[in-house]
A and B are shown apart, each in its own frame.
Chain A
Amino acid sequence: MSVDAATVKRVAHLARIAVSDEDVPKLQSELNAILAFVEQLSEVNVDGVEPMTSVLPMAMKKRQDVVTDGEIVEKIIANAPASQDNYFLVPKVIE
């Protein structure tokens, strides 16, 4: 598997990372090197093997339905570049 220049640009756009045209060839070759490295895994036959989700066989921890958190608005918006009346302010996003 390998990626072309258009795919590099598309992935960058989806990740909202600004990539200039001159950076594309370098990123493309780096990505392809990574993909080639990972591709070695496909040499292993995993037919009938379930994906491993945990090193130890364990069940997912669950919480009880109790309100134990929240009411910390000053912490929530502490790092916001802009806020107003405890709302985050972001560039207008409506079309």
Chain B
Amino acid sequence: MATGRATNPKNLVKGATGDWEIIVGMEIHAQVSSQAKLFSGASTAFGGAPNSHVSLVDAAMPGMLPVINEECVRQAIRTGLGLNAKINLKSIFDRKNYFYPDLPQGYQISQYKNPIVGEGEIVVDVSPTEQITVGVERLHLEQDAGKSLHDQHPTMSLVDLNRSGVALMEIVSRPDLRSAEEARAYVTKLRTILRYLGTCDGDMEKGNLRADVNVSVRRPGEPLGTRCEIKNVNSIRFIGQAVDVEARRQIAILEDGGAIDQETRLYDPAKGETRSMRNKEEAHDYRYFPDPDLLPLEFDDAYVETLRRDLPELPDAKKQRFIAQYGVTPYDGAVLVGERASADFFEEVASGRDGKTAANWVINEFFGRLNKEGKDIDTSPISAAQIGAIIDLLGKQVISGKIAKDLFEIVWTEGGDPAAIVEKRGMTQVTDTGAIEKVIDAVLAANPDKVAEAKAKPTMIGWFVGQVMKSSGGKANPQAVNQLLKAKLGIE
């Protein structure tokens, strides 16, 4: 088992009787991006009328047979390649048997002993400067179940099979994560990779990405403890909370001399606690066996290589390229590649310009503004070309840094061509020393006491620069102002 990660003291949790180490492994269910379901021609669209996206196959009517959707296979292979994983040219579909009203077949078609994707790994960015490698045990294809609604009727549950039969990829990690922070970072990175690949939209609100989180604790260096599985945690923030809450619960039990029961639990974000799902006896006896309705899933190396060739550039490679090609810092690189759309936007701004300046504008001004207004790149009122034009005006010293920010504001709210706006509104930076001198003289004349002070205390010059910039409406070239002021005040 890949429990070989050296213990990082920063991850240890202090208990009453000493330090504990948290061990986390994760099973992520990611809905495959496809038009039709895994084994039927019904739509996967979210939010249809009850039981409208359901075929007779999905409803498990007698005599119906599953026929696999080749796109789901393609997406699973591409995901496997994106996780640097072994692709199995032959895999088997099995039946996982259990009874639940939203599972009309009485079994889920899944993959048990022979999954389509074997071992791989993900480089997880715990912070922009701390990377850990997390092992992936496997990825397999399986059907989603339907949906039960329990609060619409006093004595009955309502069942909608629209989701029944939609393709899921279950991605199982090794127990390589050591903290809530690492667990969150793992899901974030996996989600980013899936979105780059376009194999899952990663929409956790719609349930298109769900996590089962396995948590156990141990004394550093000791064998793994008994784990509990926290089912269906549906946001990255809750994943972190669930790990912390569950680890604390287990540590308290163990320190009181108790033992952990291996069980399935639910995280309740409102109460900030996990609670047992009251394990039904034999709930885990799934009696897997190969599905006799489906032949083994087979494809050849040539097909896999075609898919490998067509993979997009993934976040880790993109980040390295941004650092090398545009000279951005590793930190900025990590921020820029977090979403493919962000990275593309940055590249458009940076193309033919100074990369660091572009990164600063995109991250600080643009992303900052998007966040503030709750917008994303698709709904942004300002384009990469417009930001690029502002940077160009700044670079050619047509406008000052202060005016550039004002200009950004104008373009954001009113739109338009930045160069034309500068022209029309007279925002051009004043580099004409004569004009600047006039302003300086006026400021000096108005503040004789400060002039005297400044001769004794040269740092006062900052105050004068501010005043001059203010009276020039921000248009004076700050370097010119600084130089002229120094000369006039006799400061060196």
Which residues of A line the B interface, CB within 8 A? 10, 13-14, 16, 51, 53-54, 58-73, 75-77, 82, 84-95
Contact = CB atoms under 8 A, between A and B. Distances in A.
A46 B432 CA distance: 94
B155 A62 contact: no
A62 B50 contact: no
A30 B296 CA distance: 33
A14 B59 CA distance: 21
B41 A67 contact: yes
B471 interface: no
A91 B68 contact: no
Interface in B281-302: 282, 285, 287, 290, 294-298
- Which secondary structure dominates chain A's binding surface? loop
User: 5 closest pairs, A vs B, by CB?
Assistant: A65-B71, A68-B41, A70-B42, A69-B41, A69-B55
Contact of B159 (A16, A63, A75, A88): A88
B306 to A, nearest CB: 16
A73 B157 contact: no
Interface residues of B, number: 51
Given A60-B297, A76-B56, A76-B59, A91 B40 contact: no
Residue among A63, A66, A90 facing the most chain B CB atoms (10 A cut-off): A63
A35 B213 CA distance: 40
B156 A89 contact: yes
- Which secondary structure dominates chain B's binding surface? loop
Nearest to A70: B42
A70 B41 contact: yes
A60 B295 contact: yes
Contacts, number: 137
Given A16-B99, A88-B101, A93-B148, A66 B50 contact: no
B342 interface: no
Contact of B36 (A65, A90, A91): A65
A92 B287 CA distance: 26
A90 B152 CA distance: 12
Nearest to A10: B282
B49 A75 contact: no
A90 B70 contact: no
A76 B54 contact: yes
Given A59-B295, A89-B156, A94 B101 contact: no
A87 B160 contact: yes
A59 B297 CA distance: 8
A69 B58 CA distance: 10
Contacts of B117: none
A88 B158 contact: yes
Nearest to A85: B50
Given A61-B67, A63-B69, A86-B51, A69 B34 contact: no
Contact of B100 (A13, A92, A93): A93
Given A59-B298, A87-B149, A87-B160, 20 more contacts: A10-B282, A16-B99, A60-B298, A61-B67, A63-B67, A63-B69, A63-B70, A66-B36, A66-B41, A67-B35, A68-B36, A69-B42, A77-B51, A84-B156, A86-B52, A89-B159, A91-B155, A92-B153, A92-B155, A92-B156
